[in-house]
Structure 1
Amino acid sequence: MLNKKNNITNDEVTFQIHKIYVKDLSFESPNSPNVFKENWNPKISCDLNNIFDKLEKNLFDVTLRVIVKVHINLKLIFLCEVHQSGIFYIQGMSKKKLLYCLGVYCPNILFPYSRECISNLTSKGGFPQLNLEPVNFDSMFNKNNIKK
C-alpha cells in the first residue's frame, strides 16, 4: 500500500541512528596507588546487558551496559562501568524483527563506542589499556530468547 504523503510503501523498512551518547560512566580504583606494586596477572570479568525503551512511535533508546571488573588474587584493581546509548528510528519491522534489531543490531553499533571508552578509562587510570574482545550479540540474543 502506498502512502502518498511520504511516498513510501508500508512494507519499507527504515533504520536511522539519531544520536549516540554516553548515559553513565564510572571508573573506580579503590586500592590505588598500592595496586601499582602488584604483579600484573589480572583476572578480568565482563558483564554485558542491553535494555531499550520506546520513546515514541518508531523511536527507541537502546542502552548497552558494560561492567568490567579486574582483580589480582581477590583484590579489586579497578571497576569500569559504561552505559553507552543510542536513539534509533526504526519503522516497518514485524515485532519479531524489531526485537532482534533492538537486541542485536543496535548493540553491535554501540559496542565499539563502549570498548573505546573502557580502553581510554583504563589507560587514564594508570593501567595497561584494556581492549575488550568482540561480542557475538546474535548468539547472546538467541540464547536468551530460546522458546521453552
Structure 2
Amino acid sequence: MADETTGAADNNAAADAQQQPPQVQMRILAQFIRDLSFENAVVQKGIPTGEVKPEINVQVSLDARKRPVDHQYEVITKFKVGSTNTVDSQTLFLCEIDYAGVFHVEGVPEDQLHPFLMIECPRMLFPFVRRIISDVTRDGGFPPFNMDPVDFVALYRQEIARRQQQQQNQRPEGVPLS
C-alpha cells in the first residue's frame, strides 16, 4: 500500500512540474565596451575665465539583437554624458559610451522577452558603465561623475509610448483606429 501512495505522489509532483512555467535563466556571457569617446573641451578651447557652474546632461538609449546561437542576445546600452557651463553655455566635456553585454536567456515567455532584454539586462550592465564613466571623467581632468541609477522600467515605458504616438501620427486620414 505504501508503494501505491508513493507512486501517486510522484505522479502528482510530475504533473505539477509540467504545469509550472519554466524557470527563467540568465547568464552574462560577456560584456565589453563597443565604443568610447571623451572630449575635454576645456583643454581644447582654453580654461574658462570667470565663474564655472557645470550642468550635467545624461541621455540613455538601448538596443538588443538576437545572436545566431539559440537563447543568446546582445544588449547595448548607449550613454551620452555632457557637461556645460550654465554661465556661458560652453561645453566642458562630452563622454559617449556604447557598452554591450552578451546574455544567455531561457525560460522567458516570448511576449515578455523584449521588456526583459530592455530592462533586466541593462540593469545588470549599469554598475559597470557607471564605474567606467566615473573613471573616464576623472582621468579626463574633471571630478569623477557618479551617475544616478537609471530607471530602466520608466525608460522602456517612455519608448513604448513614443512609438505608439509615432504610429498614431502616421495613420492616414479616414482609417479607423480599431
TM-score calculated relative to the size of structure 1:
0.85
Q: Is the 8 A contact 1:50 1:103 kept in 2?
A: yes
Whole-angstrom CA distance in 1 between matches of 2:160 and 2:95:
28
State yes or no: 1:46 paired with 2:58. yes
**Which of 17, 20, 26 is the aligned partner of 2:31?**
20
The one-letter amino acid paired with 1:60 is Y
**Offset of 1:30 from its aligned partner?**
2.9
Q: Is contact 2:42-2:48 (8 Å) kept?
A: no
What do the CA deviations read for 1:76-105 (whole angstroms, capped 9, x no partner)? 111001111100001121122211111100
| Higher alpha-carbon deviation: 73-82 or 33-42 | 33-42
CA spacing shift, 1:88–1:38, aligned 2, 3 Å: farther
Amino acid at match of 1:63: I
Root-mean-square deviation (Å):
2.1
Check whether the contact 1:19–1:87 (CA below 8 A) recurs between aligned residues.
Answer: yes
- Matching residue within 70, 83, 90 for 2:98: 83
Separation in 1, partners of 2:52, 2:141: 12
Tell me which of 32, 38, 53 is aligned to 2:43. 32
TM-score (norm 2): 0.72
Q: C-alpha offsets along residues 93-130 of structure 1, whole Å, 9 cap, x if unaligned?
A: 11222111111001111111111111111111111111
Structure ranking higher in strand proportion = 1
Q: Greater relative contact order (Cα 8 A, min sep 6): structure 1 or 2?
A: 1
Deviation at 1:38, TM superposition (A): 5.5
In structure 2, the partner of 1:111 is: 126
Q: How many residues align?
A: 141
Structure 1: runs of 5+ lacking an equivalent = 1-7
